[in-house]
Amino acid sequence: MTLVIVCDTGPLLHLSEAGAIHLLSLAGEILISPLVATEFEENSQGWNPPQWVKIVDLDKSARQKAEKWTNAGPIDSGEAEAIGLALQVNADWLLTDDAKARQLAESTGLEVHGSVGILLWSVAVGNIPDKALAFNLLNNLANSSLWISEQVIQEGRKAIDTLFE
């Protein structure tokens, strides 16, 4: 069974910067909204989303929800569209690195993961077969535009150690 995954701009950008965007293609079918595609292109020094990423338009209901969330102020329009699209397609996962978007998405019943979660999932399922590579990718994420606390980095290292035991 292939997972249906809707991605916000953050994980696309951060995993690209870390040299780990290929991990998304191994996770499942990756869908993004047109606005997320535009945000990625604007923030990634002109890179386009990989060819295996599918751009999907929001239907009227999802667009109205996204506009409501954006107007209410807790999240930006790209994050709101990603959540709306995830609900529209009944996604298995939503990927976002934004805490407020995560909270909102979880309140709607979505399963939410971030860039570090994708890295750890990839280790757990064997898509990253080498411990040194896993640590390198975690360090790359820590040095990307993603803000990660030192505690999360340490917990990620411990999780990688455990997964390779």
Q: Which strands make up the sheet holding 112-113, listed edge to edge?
A: 53-55, 28-32, 3-7, 93-95, 112-113
The whole-number pLDDT of residue 49 equals: 83
Check whether residue 26 and residue 87 sit in a common domain.
yes
The whole-number pLDDT of residue 110 equals: 97
The whole-number pLDDT of residue 44 equals: 83
Check whether residue 93 and residue 120 sit in a common domain.
no
The whole-number pLDDT of residue 78 equals: 94
Give me the residues paired with residue 32 across strands. Answer: 55
The whole-number pLDDT of residue 48 equals: 79
- Is residue 105 a contact partner of residue 11, using CB atoms and an 8 Å limit? no
The whole-number pLDDT of residue 66 equals: 95
Check whether residue 146 and residue 83 sit in a common domain.
no
Kindly compute the dihedral angle of the four CA atoms of residues 156, 18, 48, 52, in this order, to the nearest 10 degrees. Answer: -50
Rounded to two decimals, the pTM is 0.93
Q: Which of 66, 146, 139 is nearest to 101 (CA)?
A: 66
Containing structural domain, residue 157: 116-163
Other Cβ atoms within 10 Å of 51 Cβ, number: 7
The whole-number pLDDT of residue 60 equals: 97
Check whether residue 97 and residue 43 sit in a common domain.
yes
Check whether residue 17 and residue 84 sit in a common domain.
yes
The whole-number pLDDT of residue 64 equals: 96
Domain harbouring 101, CATH code: 3.40.50.1010
Last residue of a domain, one of 97, 114, 131: 114
pLDDT by residue (tens digit) across 77-130? 999 999 999 999 999 999 999 999 999 999 999 999 999 999 999 999 999 999
How many domains, the chain? 2
The whole-number pLDDT of residue 46 equals: 74
Q: What is the mean pLDDT of the chain?
A: 94
Check whether residue 91 and residue 154 sit in a common domain.
no
Give CA–CA dist 7/11, Å, rounded: 7
Check whether residue 132 and residue 79 sit in a common domain.
no
Last residue of a domain, one of 114, 132, 147: 114
Work out the average pLDDT over 4-24: 95
Check whether residue 35 and residue 75 sit in a common domain.
yes
pLDDT by residue (tens digit) across 42-63? 888 777 788 999 999 999 999 9
pLDDT band at 36 (very low <50, low <70, confident <90, very high): very high
Check whether residue 56 and residue 7 sit in a common domain.
yes
User: Which ranges in 8-98 belong to alpha helices (H)?
Assistant: 9-17, 22-27, 34-43, 60-72, 77-88
The whole-number pLDDT of residue 22 equals: 93
Give CA–CA dist 62/79, Å, rounded: 12
Check whether residue 33 and residue 86 sit in a common domain.
yes
Check whether residue 135 and residue 79 sit in a common domain.
no
SS3 27: helix
